[in-house]
Amino acid sequence: MFEQLCIIGVGLIGGSIARAAKAQGLCKQVVAYGGDKHLPNLQRALALGVIDGFHTDIGAALNGSDCVIVATPVGTLPAIFSAMQPFWNSQTIYSDVGSTKASVVEAARSVFGDVPSNFVPAHPIAGAERSGVEASTADLFNDRRLIITPLDDTDTAAVEKLSEFWRRIGSRVALMSVEHHDTVLAATSHLPHILAFALVAMLGRKDEQHEIFKYAAGGFKDFSRIASSDPTMWRDICLANKDELIPLLQQFQAELGQIERRLQNGDAQALFDTFSYARQARQRFLDTFDDHS
């Protein structure tokens, strides 16, 4: 499918793309780029067989690559695009894996003027609380969703080829607008991560913290799992999508304030109605998406 796949940033996601592409025979070789400070990580990726080679010079890594996927935290994208610009090749397909798309498009626009038509913004909805190349697996994207957010000018053939690439490593590909993606992901992913981080941080400061964690029931353990996610990545995501997140955070605080008043007033019926509505909403969607989506 590709001669040489170049992965910029070989962490959990980048490493898993490399492993999956090799496992499915989608490219002849995988090279990686990382800055000097990432040298130990690149060496580890090579030793693990995740990649076939690496460069700490971005021009060398891009040279001969007909598909380039940027898999670094979204906060680094402006600098990465700037470094890539001198080597930009109209025959190559470029993509990314950022969890926020408006910020990625904005970064591309700030560097290139117009977003290049051979840059295809993408986001695999997969991850884990672990991070780093050691956590990467060839099946991370299996049966997971991959969202592509093409712009008006994005090359259709590039979108189709990248879609096929992701499908062949197991993903279920969908297309939507940048704005819609960021609205939906703020609700379904970014806000829940903030809630988990905030709850675990708050409880971790309490005198009873030892017993709080000791007696944590199943629900809280599930809930708090995502608080182990990479703090750098999530700092970048939250800042990049803050225009969507801030109103949601305000709405959620209002929601909690309402529940607080219902508790104060002993308004049993209203509490029951809210809990019941939530249970029904979840059941409705479990029924609709009963396909391990």
Q: Nearest distance from residue 78's CB to a copy of itself, in Å?
A: 14
Q: Are strands 122-125 and 145-148 parallel, antiparallel or unpaired?
A: antiparallel
Nearer to a copy of itself, 46 or 212 (CB): 212
Nearer to a copy of itself, 58 or 80 (CB): 80
Integer Cα distance of 59 and 261 in angstroms: 60
Residue 193 touches a copy of itself, criterion: CB under 8 A: yes
CB-CB contact of 159 with 134 (8 Å): no
Residue 135 touches a copy of itself, criterion: CB under 8 A: no
Strand order in the sheet with 122-125: 122-125, 145-148, 172-175
Q: Nearest distance from residue 277's CB to a copy of itself, in Å?
A: 5
Residue list 240-259, contact with a copy of itself (CB under 8 A):
242, 245-246, 249-253, 255-257, 259
125-136: b or e for each residue (b if 16 or more CB lie within 10 Å)? bbbbeebebebb
Q: Which stretch binds a copy of itself (CB under 8 A): 18-26, 56-64, 153-161, 186-194?
A: 186-194
Residue 227 touches a copy of itself, criterion: CB under 8 A: yes
CB-CB contact of 104 with 74 (8 Å): yes
CB-CB contact of 111 with 168 (8 Å): no
Q: Nearest distance from residue 5's CB to a copy of itself, in Å?
A: 25
Residue 173 touches a copy of itself, criterion: CB under 8 A: no
Residue 242's SS3 state is: helix
User: Partners of 55 in the beta sheet?
Assistant: 33
CB-CB contact of 11 with 133 (8 Å): yes
Q: Which residue from 11, 116, 127, 170 is in contact with a copy of itself, where contact means CB under 8 A?
A: 127
Q: Which residue from 76, 180, 182, 290 is in contact with a copy of itself, where contact means CB under 8 A?
A: 180
Residue list 136-165, contact with a copy of itself (CB under 8 A):
145, 147
Residue list 263-282, contact with a copy of itself (CB under 8 A):
263-264, 266, 268, 271-272, 274-282
Kindly state the tokens that stand for 111: 């560097």
Residue list 18-57, contact with a copy of itself (CB under 8 A):
none
Integer Cα distance of 35 and 23 in angstroms: 26
Q: Nearest distance from residue 240's CB to a copy of itself, in Å?
A: 10
Residue list 54-83, contact with a copy of itself (CB under 8 A):
75
CB-CB contact of 3 with 28 (8 Å): yes
Residue list 106-125, contact with a copy of itself (CB under 8 A):
125
Q: Nearest distance from residue 245's CB to a copy of itself, in Å?
A: 6
